[in-house]
A and B are shown apart, each in its own frame.
Chain A
Amino acid sequence: MADQALDVDFALNEAQEMLRQTTRQFLADRVPLEAVRQLADTEAGFDEKLWQAGAELGWHSLAIPEEYGGAGYTFAELSIVLEELGRALFPGPFLSTVVMAADAILTAGTEDQKQAHLPAIARGERTVGVALFEGPRGANLDDISMAAEPSGDGWVLTGTKTNVVFGQAVDTILVAARTAGGLSLFLIPSGTPGVSHEAVPTLDPTTKQAQLTFTTVSVGPEALLGREGAAGPVIERILRLAAVGLSLDQVGGAQWCLETSVEHGKTRFQFGRAIGSFQSIKHRCADMLVEVEHARSAAYHAARVTGDEEELVIAAPLAKSVCSDAYEHVAGETIQILGGTGFSWEHSVHLYFKRAKSTALMFGDARYHRRLLADALGL
């Protein structure tokens, strides 16, 4: 498996090519940047109708097996959508619902839980917020300390979770807590008595967040996802998938920035010439292309080895570190190439720059992922 993982096939088949085209077209028609900006001003931060429409296109069901209402494809197909969503700055709890929660349910859930949740996710009828960490440094299992106590045949949860992406708008929460047996995951409706949320303003207006407070929240036994105390490896896996998902988002956004820079280089004239004819701009664009292509390779590779845990522990932090740095740099360069316009609120490049920084910091920054990589390599 390992050798195969080092030599993945990047080519898209016809169906995958189609998926990219229809996804891009849909986003261009239905979620242009003006729409993204309008949604950023709403409290929910995303549009239920668009969410539904995306699900009808099959986005949500791609990596869900057929027996649970999915299309039974792989992460490679899902990765196409994730990249396009990043390119369009699509706002919504897609990563937490479709990438993280769906995988956690599939890996750890009981048959009843899979039947209860996966078809609903596939149909776009469920939004899930992932509530793992409790402070600014949250990135790994050590950063989870909230407790869940047994009570009758169920549980009582008490504590606070920070930085829950779209936590103010989702209908379901996947929350990590410590029980006597160890780390456990619970899947509970957001409206459960005792759960309150406080929206917090975000650097990236396209990615809302909330802080969730659990005040002696009583839940039944069905809320426990899978086995008590067995959530450690499940959380580690969804963190790796989050890293891969964010990397793809970053590649999509970085590609938009590159194209925007190149276009400006061709059409903006100063000193009687297109500014792209100045080496400082031309070389920058060439460097950006190299960066974006490297980021793409790392992200695509990771998206193709999500089933191979041994390779994923390398591929996920590799992708997150390379893609985070690339996106932040390329978005910053695009501002520079656009000049005063790039610094304005009116042009959308600032939204890319903010999403670049935000995705870079979510679930551990590039430095953190390089540490994970060093560990995985035994260095």
Chain B
Amino acid sequence: MTDTIKAESAEALVGERLEQLLGGYDPSVEPQEFWGNQYDLGLAWVQFPEGFGGLGVSPKYQSVVQGALEKAGAPTWNRELNLLGIGMGAGVLAAHGTDAQKVKWLRPMFTTEDMWCQLFSEPGAGSDLANLSAKAVRDGDEWIVNGQKVWTTLAHIAKWGMIPVRTDPDVPKHAGITYFIVDMKAEGVEVRPLYQITGEAEFNEVFFTDVRVPDEYRIDEVGAGWRVSMTTLMNERVAIGSRALPRGGGSMEAAIKAWKDYGHADPAARDELVQLWAGWEALRLTTLRANQMRKAGTPGPEGSTGKLAWADLNKAITAFTVDLMGWDGTLYPGGYVLHRPTEFESEGSPQRNFLRARANSIEGGTSEIMKNIVGERVLGLPGEPRVDKDLPWKEVPRG
């Protein structure tokens, strides 16, 4: 079969399934039920194999699916709602999971019945994730997990958590890690809110005390946790960096609104606004281009550039927007209310969005780390001398 024929039949297949899903689309259907149908028809992740929410076709057809859903007014916000599951966990299961694990976790993840969280960062292991010290010790068919995680987004509503833990402290740090999916409602898991600059507690600290995890929840081999963690992060960076916004959308919309509402005319500020607009549009086009070229499978390090650029631009645009508001920018409508949101709060005042944007260059890997990745893994520049790489984990200096 030539590629053209393959492409033609893939297109036909996607079209056929879309017709089944959307023909006579009934908007009164519950979103979770709709997402269940979408999954069963293989339109959740088209590149996944049939039976696991996919059709085994090129991932480029996913944008065809998304376009059709949006056009029909069908619900698509599950990807935002369960970003850590759908954007990251799914890719991990696809690359490293057994069929039984995929069957267990993918569907309820996609329908958002089961929310997911990412238990990577620890007080002593942020950028240096491989330095993590939460540990698991084998006990027959189970593992016993102890330790602390931090900055865990939405841990308070998650049913499942992705957790790399140390299973061998005597080997170099990357080699002694094993990756599990942990039940967040299990005994011994304690989730405490951590409030952030905006007063919201999107994230948490999570304590594990003798938590029992069945060996079936282990992802990939014992000691392969670093590889699985990398898959998670590559997916995360793409999930963050590849959101396709309309032209002038997202934070730029608020900037333009402020420009008009506050009656600005100063040519210097106008130039600044348009510089930001142009940067934002160049990013949008780059994202579009990257999404079209993306191959099936785990994204490579090139996925990091989008996140890097997005973080800088979003910070600059939201800060500029607040500036355009003059004295109004010194206010905080509604005040700071310490609370625990039950989903990502993406909407907010320009002032709130200005504060929230500060995380963009920290969450999902800091911009410094992104630059190291781009420099070393994309451009092939030599790495920094490493003092810790070959030492047994327990001998690495920690300040």
**What is A's interface to B at a CB cutoff of 8 Å?**
133, 135-139, 162-163, 200-205, 207, 209, 267-275, 278, 280-281, 328, 332, 335-336, 339-340, 342-346, 350, 353-354, 357-358, 360-362, 365, 367, 371
Are B329's CB and A367's CB within 8 A? no
Are A273's CB and B336's CB within 8 A? no
In the A-B complex, list the 6 residue pairs whose CB atoms are closest, starting with the nearest.
A272-B388, A269-B399, A201-B335, A345-B195, A270-B128, A136-B326
Complex: A45 Cα to B202 Cα, angstroms: 27
Residues of B within 8 A of A342 (CB): 358, 362
Are A273's CB and B397's CB within 8 A? yes
Residues of B within 8 A of A205 (CB): 336
Are A209's CB and B330's CB within 8 A? yes
Complex: A335 Cα to B398 Cα, angstroms: 22
- Which of chain A's residues has its CB closest to B386's CB? A271
Are A361's CB and B388's CB within 8 A? no
**Contact among B121, B334, B384 for A201, CB-based, below 8 A:** B334
Are A280's CB and B330's CB within 8 A? no
Complex: A204 Cα to B399 Cα, angstroms: 34
Residues of B within 8 A of A133 (CB): 327
Listed A/B pairs (28) with beta-carbon separation below 8 Å: A136-B329, A137-B262, A202-B330, A202-B332, A203-B331, A203-B332, A205-B336, A267-B399, A269-B399, A270-B125, A271-B388, A280-B371, A328-B319, A332-B358, A335-B197, A336-B367, A339-B126, A343-B197, A343-B358, A344-B194, A344-B196, A345-B195, A350-B355, A353-B197, A357-B322, A357-B329, A360-B323, A362-B327
- Which of chain B's residues has its CB closest to A203's CB? B332
Complex: A339 Cα to B319 Cα, angstroms: 19
- Which of chain A's residues has its CB closest to B322's CB? A357
Residues of A within 8 A of B262 (CB): 136-137
**Contact among B194, B331, B358, B397 for A272, CB-based, below 8 A:** B397
Residues of A within 8 A of B127 (CB): 270-271, 275, 339
Are B327's CB and A269's CB within 8 A? no
B131 interface residue, CB < 8 Å from A?
A: yes
Complex: A52 Cα to B10 Cα, angstroms: 78
Complex: A225 Cα to B268 Cα, angstroms: 38
Are B331's CB and A202's CB within 8 A? yes
Are A273's CB and B330's CB within 8 A? no
Are B197's CB and A203's CB within 8 A? no
Are B368's CB and A281's CB within 8 A? yes
Are A203's CB and B361's CB within 8 A? no
Q: How many residues of B contact A (CB 8 A)?
A: 56
Complex: A371 Cα to B388 Cα, angstroms: 52
B239 interface residue, CB < 8 Å from A?
A: no
Complex: A344 Cα to B192 Cα, angstroms: 14
Residues of B within 8 A of A269 (CB): 397-399
Are A336's CB and B366's CB within 8 A? yes
Are A345's CB and B196's CB within 8 A? yes
Complex: A335 Cα to B311 Cα, angstroms: 14
Q: Provide the main secondary structure of the chain A interface.
A: mixed
Residue interface mask B220-244, A partner, CB < 8 A = 1: 0000000000000000000000000
Residue interface mask B332-369, A partner, CB < 8 A = 1: 11111010000000000001001100110110001110
**Contact among A139, A339, A362 for B330, CB-based, below 8 A:** A362
Are B396's CB and A272's CB within 8 A? yes
Complex: A162 Cα to B194 Cα, angstroms: 34
B387 interface residue, CB < 8 Å from A?
A: yes
CB distance from B201 to the nearest CB of A (A): 8
CB distance from A196 to the nearest CB of B (A): 19
Complex: A205 Cα to B362 Cα, angstroms: 24
Residues of B within 8 A of A274 (CB): 399
Q: Known contacts being A267-B399, A269-B397, A345-B196, is A340 close to B327, with CB within 8 Å?
A: no
Complex: A336 Cα to B336 Cα, angstroms: 22
CB distance from B50 to the nearest CB of A (A): 40
Complex: A163 Cα to B330 Cα, angstroms: 9
Residues of B within 8 A of A271 (CB): 127-128, 131, 386-388
- Which of chain B's residues has its CB closest to A201's CB? B335
Residues of A within 8 A of B335 (CB): 201
Complex: A205 Cα to B366 Cα, angstroms: 27
Q: A200-B331, A343-B197 are in contact. List 17 more A-B contacts (CB 8 A).
A: A136-B325, A137-B262, A137-B327, A162-B327, A201-B332, A269-B399, A271-B127, A280-B368, A281-B368, A336-B362, A340-B126, A340-B150, A342-B358, A342-B362, A357-B329, A358-B330, A361-B325
**Contact among A137, A201, A346 for B195, CB-based, below 8 A:** A346
Are B330's CB and A335's CB within 8 A? no
Task: Report B288-338 residues with CB < 8 Å from chain A CB.
Answer: 315, 319, 322-323, 325-336, 338
- Which of chain B's residues has its CB closest to A274's CB? B399
Q: Known contacts being A267-B399, A272-B391, A343-B362, is A365 close to B126, with CB within 8 Å?
A: no
Task: Report B25-73 residues with CB < 8 Å from chain A CB.
Answer: none
Complex: A234 Cα to B12 Cα, angstroms: 77
- Which of chain A's residues has its CB closest to B266's CB? A367
CB distance from A4 to the nearest CB of B (A): 33
CB distance from A96 to the nearest CB of B (A): 14
B199 interface residue, CB < 8 Å from A?
A: yes
B269 interface residue, CB < 8 Å from A?
A: yes
**Contact among A203, A268, A371 for B351, CB-based, below 8 A:** A203
Residues of B within 8 A of A328 (CB): 319
B151 interface residue, CB < 8 Å from A?
A: yes
Are A201's CB and B331's CB within 8 A? yes
CB distance from A11 to the nearest CB of B (A): 35
- Which of chain A's residues has its CB closest to B359's CB? A343
CB distance from B150 to the nearest CB of A (A): 7
Complex: A357 Cα to B266 Cα, angstroms: 21
